Structure 1
Amino acid sequence: MKRKIAAIFAADIAGYSRLVAEDEEETLRRLASYREVVDDFIAKAGGRIFNTAGDAVLAEFPSAVDAVRCAIDIQESLRTRNMAYPPSRQMSFRIGITIGDVVERDGDLLGDGVNIAARLEGLAEVGGICVSRAVHEQVANKLSVQFADIGAQEVKNIPTPVHAYMVAMRREDGTYATPQVKKVAKAVPAPNWMWPLVVGVVSVVAIGVGGFLYFTKLETTKVPSAVAATTPTPASSAVAPSPTPTMAAKAPMPTQSAMAAATPAPTPAAAGGKFPADMVPFIGERVRAYLSNEYSVAGDYKAFALNIGGFVGYGLNQPNEEAARNTALDQCQKRADAAQSPRRCELYAVGDTVVYSHGKPPMPPQPWVRHDAMTERPFASKDFPIVRDPAKVRLENLYAPAAKSRSVALGPGGQYFMVMGASSVDESARRSLESCGAIAGVVCMIVAVDDNFVVPIPTLLRITGFFHAASNASIVADARDEVVRKLGDGMGWNAVAVGTTGRPGLGLKAADEQTAVNSALADCARRDSDCHVIAIGPFTVGPTN
């Protein structure tokens, strides 16, 4: 063991247990995506992660300046990613930073420095940063960061109060928020003269309640028999129908056994009782034709199962409903397992009634694909945006050599889904968007069709996410509508730059990426200072390093 002085960084997700309870699979998937961002920033800032547990991250930095700068970069990057999700599903970190003496053992760090960083993290606002006085003294004159002094804070298991500061985070309008601290109110003991009065009041209340119960005794003795007659037994109790799910607050996916045991609140079949085959997501046109013909005319005991990846199973002309359910689920799951699909199969319909509990996946407006000769270029897996290297290898091995028609849809958090060998480009685009949208929980975008990228893929700056001008915090609020209007149909190369006050400059419909960037910077310089490019095409961008 050895001792050293280090800047300790502690972070975890606010409300993580609630997010997991609402949708475990989607939360874990996004946690992995957000952790990639956090880990990348820590590594680039010279930090080292020495411990993780669930949603928590502990890291050390050789410099308090590097630790605070890294924390700010993380919070601003994740804030942009969170814009793609409704407020109830946003995943925000709290971060605490201190400088302290720690003990290193087998790569792990122990000591008061680690404990205080964790307590400061608990004081931080959602999406905010809280630092100790030692960190503030090191950073105040080295970074252009505003702080709010919240004074000495009593924290659990630390014997002396910790003097703390909040980092003021930038608002959407370019101003800085004043952090608020939740102060714990201490109970004030009642004065001695109050006790006789309290005893007297309690005595009077007790006498009154006793008298009430005495005079109502005969009436209350009749109630139990009435209640017993009207309360249903567990065997006969009614089950309230489940509320209709929405994508904004998606319920956790039921397991296969739960789906087989109980049918969710059914969605009525299409007019005339015919199975609504046109409404089924994730499937190809051949499966849709089979549902419209063979499935629709089959006997009463039938069921249909699918998964997000488009694998399906049928149970037709079965002896009873349970047999139809089990047959459909088993057939679908065997096909999914054979293809190594990670998604579980679920019942979509029993008879002609839809029982699928997740509704339709979020979809963008049509047209899903727009061809533009100025921006299209040959597909290259190494240039595929946002996703990590293992995904690029998979795209190279599976997508690039696959049969047409094929397409890849991409989500703002790096989720993606590819469909190969479809009957048409329209089918491959629809299916990849539906599956990607179901995985991401938000609208995805078609990035590649067959052998080409069909959206502008920036190369001058690093792609960091999806660009939505209407909600982008870097652009001053009163200018966002104009940016949306001027970007219009998005054809050609477009770029957006902003300056210190968030005033935007635009480079529109350029023939190449460099021209769009130069135009945006020049336009911004006429309105603002210290301009930098924040978006190229449909993506947000940042420095390459």
Structure 2
Amino acid sequence: MKRKIAAIFAADIAGYSRLVAEDEEETLRRLAAYRSVVDDFIARAGGRIFNTAGDAVFAEFPSAVEAVRCAIDIQESLRTRNMAYPPSRQMSFRIGITIGDVVERDGDLLGDGVNIAARLEGLAEVGGICVSRAVHEQVANKLSVQFADIGAQEVKNIPTPVYAYLVAMRREDGTYATPQIKKPAAKPLAAGVQNWMWPMAVMVVCLVAIGVGGFLYFTKLELRDKARDSLQASNHAAPVTAPAPTPSATAVAPPPVTPATAAAVAGRPSSVPALSTSERFSAEAVPFVTDRARVVLANEYVAAAEPKAFALNLNGVIGLASSQPNEEAAKSAALEQCQERADSIQSPRKCELYAIGSNVVYPHGRPPVPPLPWFKRDPVTEKPFAPAAMPFMRDQAQARLEGNYMPGKKSKAIAVGPGGNFIFYTDGATVPEVVRRALETCGALAGVPCMIVAIDDVFVVPVPTMMKATGPFRPADNPSIAGDARDDVARQLAEASTGWNAVAVGSSGRPGMALKAASEQDAVNGALGNCAKRDSNCHVIAIGPYAVGPN
């Protein structure tokens, strides 16, 4: 056994027993999907899961900053996924984080640090985060995060009260949710205190309050004058300004199967290509932003005087600062400017540093995107876009498309991830711009490449109508297809870039395919006929890019 100091992260699902009692199979399936998302975020943030029990997750991080950043990313991602479900069926985590001395034994961690993290998790709001004072001290000046001080809290099996803070989580509309302040721990008065003592206690408190109030009043006058002088002295360092892009982007939650789960099932890593901290800044390589913003960066940021910094968020909002007194001031100014712009357009995404000086420091790497070309126009399969025809979309998602994408100005595009999560942008300068941005944002959220399904008011992929689309079709890991035939199916589908395609399999997993058919009906009939030549009990499993099942 060895001792060490670590940031301990504890997460648990609120109301898990009720969810299981109402629908055990669906709850367990969603738990596996959500856990895949949580595990992926923890791994990408440099954390290590050391214990799990049912719906609970315990992880260690070498840095409190990374632990809190990871927790925020997890809660924002799961909040998006929960939007697809009614409030009674939403699956939300509580997360607690502390820094403590722990003992490591056979890979597991034990000690007060683990216990306190678990108790802080219990103090967190549903979908929220609660941290100890030690974590707050480490994070307060390093992350653009708001906290609510809830004071010292008495928690089970911990002898002394734990001083705690709640993290103010960002709502979908970009505003901050005000945490519900929990009452600090209070020791009960001894049973022997007599009623006659209360008037005396009240009088003493009043006298003390009067004295303290007077002291604070005069102190406030002095501090206000000093603060005014300090502000005037610092106003000479102003950040470089840049036009704030106004993206019209919406992210909608997927059904239970998540991209990370899909990658795990397929045996593929869902990691994102890493950006080296030594990579030089290039405006053309900045993701998420508009082409116009790239021009601003090339003209203003590249030539700006150091110390300088550049921040952005997933919706393409940017913030620039240059000619600052030092690097820390540049970082703070860039993040503040970016976040103010993000808040003004109600972007739910937080801003992060992308570059300091001429070096890229963005921690998440380049977003995964599919190989070029990102879309193909085929009159044989194209048809007018309709929200109700979007594959594996719930009513809430269709309503968002109806209310936001349909009336949106061109150029516009929709990208869909493997789990059904989607991103769209409207009112873009060009089709290539909105396609790139939609794929970059969707890929960053999903962790794997997404697919463009609609451009302007047209579906640009074949959308099944004869059967129900249940998800993206991935022949390389489809268990219905015999193992020795999967690669060949994947290759032939990749080469058939036009027309309607369909795949059918029989009881022995022998596939039958129809490629480049003139209609959906022709593709289905052709696939079934081809399958019947080599297998029995054939049925269609894919139409176009989608896995399908009965309507």
Common fold, TM-score beyond 0.5? yes
Equivalent position of 2:520 in the other structure: 513
Runs of 5+ unmatched residues, structure 2: 1-20, 44-69, 95-254
Please give the secondary structure, in 2, of the residue aligned with 1:391. Answer: helix
* Percent of aligned positions that are identical: 48
Cα distance 1:451–1:294, how it changes in 2: closer, same or farther (>3 A)?
Answer: same
The aligned amino acid for 1:268 is: S
Which whole-Å deviations, capped at 9, do the CAs of 1:178-236 have from their partners, x for residues lacking one?
A: xxxxxxxxxxxxxxxxxxxxxxxxxxxxxxxxxxxxxxxxxxxxxxxxxxxxxxxxxxx
| Distance in 2 between residues matched to 1:322 and 1:396, nearest whole Å | 44
Equivalent position of 1:268 in the other structure: 278
Aligned residues: 337
Cα distance 1:528–1:28, how it changes in 2: closer, same or farther (>3 A)?
Answer: farther
Contact 1:83 1:471 in 2 (8 A): no
Contact 1:347 1:356 in 2 (8 A): yes
Cα distance 1:81–1:416, how it changes in 2: closer, same or farther (>3 A)?
Answer: closer
Equivalent position of 1:161 in the other structure: none
The aligned amino acid for 1:518 is: N
The aligned amino acid for 1:267 is: T
Equivalent position of 2:298 in the other structure: 292
Contact 2:414 2:423 in 1 (8 A): yes
Equivalent position of 1:470 in the other structure: 476
Contact 1:406 1:425 in 2 (8 A): yes
Cα distance 1:497–1:414, how it changes in 2: closer, same or farther (>3 A)?
Answer: same
Taking the TM superposition and a 5 Å limit, the aligned residue runs for 1:72-471 are 84-86=262-264, 248=271, 267-270=277-280, 275-471=281-477
Contact 2:258 2:418 in 1 (8 A): no
Contact 1:88 1:249 in 2 (8 A): no
Cα deviation, residue 21, structure 1? 3.6
The aligned amino acid for 1:317 is: S
Which whole-Å deviations, capped at 9, do the CAs of 1:469-505 have from their partners, x for residues lacking one?
A: 2222211111112212322133101111111111111
| Distance in 2 between residues matched to 1:464 and 1:384, nearest whole Å | 11
Contact 2:470 2:546 in 1 (8 A): yes
Contact 2:310 2:319 in 1 (8 A): yes
Contact 2:263 2:270 in 1 (8 A): no
Cα distance 1:522–1:32, how it changes in 2: closer, same or farther (>3 A)?
Answer: farther
Cα deviation, residue 82, structure 1? 6.3
Cα deviation, residue 51, structure 1? 11
For the pair 1:485 / 2:491, whether they are aligned, the reply is yes
Contact 1:381 1:396 in 2 (8 A): yes
Cα deviation, residue 357, structure 1? 0.4
Cα deviation, residue 78, structure 1? 7.4
Please give the secondary structure, in 1, of the residue aligned with 2:263. Answer: coil
For the pair 1:533 / 2:540, whether they are aligned, the reply is yes
| Distance in 1 between residues matched to 2:328 and 2:449, nearest whole Å | 35
| Distance in 1 between residues matched to 2:420 and 2:485, nearest whole Å | 28
| Distance in 2 between residues matched to 1:322 and 1:89, nearest whole Å | 42
Taking the TM superposition and a 5 Å limit, the aligned residue runs for 1:22-37 are 22=43, 24=71
Cα distance 1:326–1:81, how it changes in 2: closer, same or farther (>3 A)?
Answer: closer
The aligned amino acid for 1:84 is: A
Please give the secondary structure, in 2, of the residue aligned with 1:523. Answer: helix
Cα distance 1:522–1:83, how it changes in 2: closer, same or farther (>3 A)?
Answer: farther
Cα deviation, residue 411, structure 1? 0.3
Please give the secondary structure, in 2, of the residue aligned with 1:515. Answer: helix
Please give the secondary structure, in 2, of the residue aligned with 1:85. Answer: helix
| Distance in 2 between residues matched to 1:501 and 1:438, nearest whole Å | 38
Cα deviation, residue 460, structure 1? 1.1
Please give the secondary structure, in 2, of the residue aligned with 1:297. Answer: coil
Contact 2:272 2:364 in 1 (8 A): no
| Distance in 2 between residues matched to 1:459 and 1:502, nearest whole Å | 24
Cα deviation, residue 329, structure 1? 0.9
Contact 1:408 1:417 in 2 (8 A): yes
Cα distance 1:52–1:341, how it changes in 2: closer, same or farther (>3 A)?
Answer: closer
Contact 1:433 1:444 in 2 (8 A): yes
Larger Rg: 1
The aligned amino acid for 1:363 is: V
Cα distance 1:29–1:539, how it changes in 2: closer, same or farther (>3 A)?
Answer: farther
Q: Which deviates the most, 485-494 or 518-527? A: 485-494
Cα distance 1:463–1:88, how it changes in 2: closer, same or farther (>3 A)?
Answer: closer
Runs of 5+ unmatched residues, structure 1: 1-5, 41-48, 56-76, 91-245, 252-264
Contact 1:266 1:353 in 2 (8 A): no
TM-score normalized with structure 1 length: 0.56
| Distance in 2 between residues matched to 1:399 and 1:50, nearest whole Å | 27
Cα deviation, residue 52, structure 1? 7.2
The aligned amino acid for 2:284 is: D
Contact 1:496 1:534 in 2 (8 A): yes
Cα distance 1:25–1:480, how it changes in 2: closer, same or farther (>3 A)?
Answer: farther
Cα deviation, residue 34, structure 1? 8.2
The aligned amino acid for 2:278 is: P
Cα distance 1:249–1:294, how it changes in 2: closer, same or farther (>3 A)?
Answer: closer
Which whole-Å deviations, capped at 9, do the CAs of 1:85-126 have from their partners, x for residues lacking one?
A: 146999xxxxxxxxxxxxxxxxxxxxxxxxxxxxxxxxxxxx
| Distance in 2 between residues matched to 1:280 and 1:510, nearest whole Å | 40
